[in-house]
Structure 1
Amino acid sequence: MMNVEKAPKSKIEQKKEMEVSPEYVQVAERALKGYLQLKSEEKVLLIKDRDTDGKTAVILEKAIDAIGSSRKEFMLSKKSKKEEILQLLQKYETIISISAGDYGTSDDIYDDIKETKNRFLALLDIDKEAFKPGGALEENPAELVERLNRMEALLSRARGFKITSVYGTDLNIPIRPLGERRWIKETGVLNPGEWGNLPVGEIYTTPDETRTNGTLMLPVLESTIKTHQGVDEFVKLTIKDGVIVAIDGGKSAEVLRDQLAKESKESEKEYNDPWAPYRIAEMGFGANSKARGVVADPDKSYRRAGVSVVEAEKRFGTIHLAFGDAKHGDEGAEGFHTASSHYDFVIPRNGLTVEMFTSEQDFDKKNKGQKIINDGGINFF
Structure 2
Amino acid sequence: MQNMQLFNDITTQEPELAEAARIAVRDVLRVKPDEKVLIITNPVGDVAEISYALYDAALKADAKPVLVFQPVKDQMSFAADEVIGAIGTAPEVLISMSAEKLGKDRAAIVNPWKAEDGTEIDNTFHYLMHTKKTRAFWSPGVTKELFKKTVPIDYLRLKKEAGVVEEILNRAQYVSITSPGGTNLKIGLKGRTAMLDNGDFSAPGEGGNLPAGETFISPELGSSNGRLVFDGSISLYNGDYMLEQPVDLKIIDGFVTSIEGGEGARLLQKTIELGEKNAVEFEAAGRIPAGSGEIYKKNARNLGELGIGLNPAAGIIGNMLGDEKAYRTIHIAIGSNYDEDAKALIHCDCLVKDPTVTAYFADGSSRVFLDGGDLKI
Q: Distance in 1 between matches of 2:308 and 2:89?
A: 36
Match of 2:141 in 1: 125
**Match in the other structure for 2:94:** 95
Going from structure 1 to structure 2, the CA distance change for 1:245 and 1:289 (only over 3 Å counts) comes to: same
Distance in 2 between the 1:193 and 1:118 partners? Answer: 6
* Aligned-partner Cα distance in 2 for 1:226–1:191: 31
Residue in 2 aligned with 1:358?
361
- Distance (Å, rounded) in 1 between the aligned partners of 2:162 and 2:267: 35
- Specify whether residues 192 and 33 from structure 1 end up closer, same or farther in structure 2 by C-alpha distance, changes over 3 A only: same
Aligned to 2:211: 199
Q: Which residue of 1 aligns with 2:125?
A: 110
Q: Which residue does 2:371 correspond to in 1?
A: 374
**Distance in structure 2 (CA, Å) of the matches to 1:165 and 1:95:** 37
2:70/2:83 contact within 8 Å kept: no
Higher deviation after alignment, 135-144 or 111-120: 111-120
> Aligned-residue CA RMSD in angstroms?
3.0
Q: Deviations over 1:42-68 (max 9, x none)?
A: 444332336x4x134213312322431
The residue correspondences of 1:5-84 to structure 2 (distance < 5 A) are 20-39=13-32, 41-49=34-42, 52=44, 54-68=45-59, 69-76=64-71, 83-84=81-82
Distance 1:355 1:116, change over 3 A: closer
Residue correspondence of structure 1 range 152-163 to structure 2 within 5 A: 152-163=166-177
2:114 match: none
Q: Does 1:315 align with 2:318?
A: no
Q: Compute the displacement of 1:287 (Å).
A: 2.4
Q: Please give the per-residue CA displacement for 1:164-221, whole angstroms capped at 9, x wherever unaligned.
A: 1112211111222xxx222223331243455421122322222222121111111221
Distance in structure 1 (CA, Å) of the matches to 2:238 and 2:95: 20
Distance 1:41 1:4, change over 3 A: farther
1:57-90 CA distances to partner (integer Å, 9 max, x unpaired)? Answer: 2133123224314322321357976542232124
Cα drift, residue 104 of structure 1: 3.2
For residues 255-334 of structure 1, what are the structure 2 equivalents within 5 Å? 255-268=267-280, 269=283, 270=288, 271-272=292-293, 273=295, 274-290=297-313, 292-294=314-316, 296=317, 306=318, 308-326=319-337, 328=338, 334=339
- Report deviation, 1:346: 2.5
Structure 1 distance, partners of 2:272, 2:142, is: 22
Which of 215, 228, 237 is the aligned partner of 1:216?
A: 228
Please, which runs of 5 or more residues in structure 2 have no aligned partner? Answer: 107-121
Q: Partner residue of 1:12?
A: none
CA drift of 1:145 comes to 2.2
- Aligned pairs, number: 335
Preserved CA contact (<8 Å) 2:72 2:99: no
Alpha-carbon contact 2:41-2:47 (below 8 Å) kept = no
**Stretch of structure 1 that moved more, 148-157 or 241-250:** 148-157
Question: What SS does structure 2 have at the residue aligned with 1:72?
Answer: strand
Change beyond 3 A, Cα 1:376–1:37? closer
Structure-2 change in CA distance of 1:317 and 1:85 (3 Å)? same
Using the alignment, how far apart are the partners of 2:78 and 2:220 within structure 1? 36
Work out whether residues 97 and 121 of structure 1, in 8 Å CA contact, stay in contact via their aligned partners in 2: yes
CA distance in structure 2 between the partners assigned to 1:92 and 1:74 by the alignment: 18
5+ residue gaps, structure 1: 6-15, 297-305, 329-333, 363-367
Q: 1:116 to 1:192 in 2, by over 3 A?
A: closer
Tell me the alpha carbon deviations over residues 281-334 of structure 1, each in whole angstroms, 9 at most, x when there is no partner: 2212122333x122x3xxxxxxxxx2x3232222233212122222x2xxxxx2
Per-residue deviation, 1:21: 2.3
> Which one-letter code corresponds to 1:373 in the other structure?
L
Q: Does 1:183 align with 2:186?
A: no
> Cα offset for 1:275?
1.0
Q: Is the 8 A contact 1:89 1:116 kept in 2?
A: no
Task: Report the equivalent of 1:146.
Answer: 160
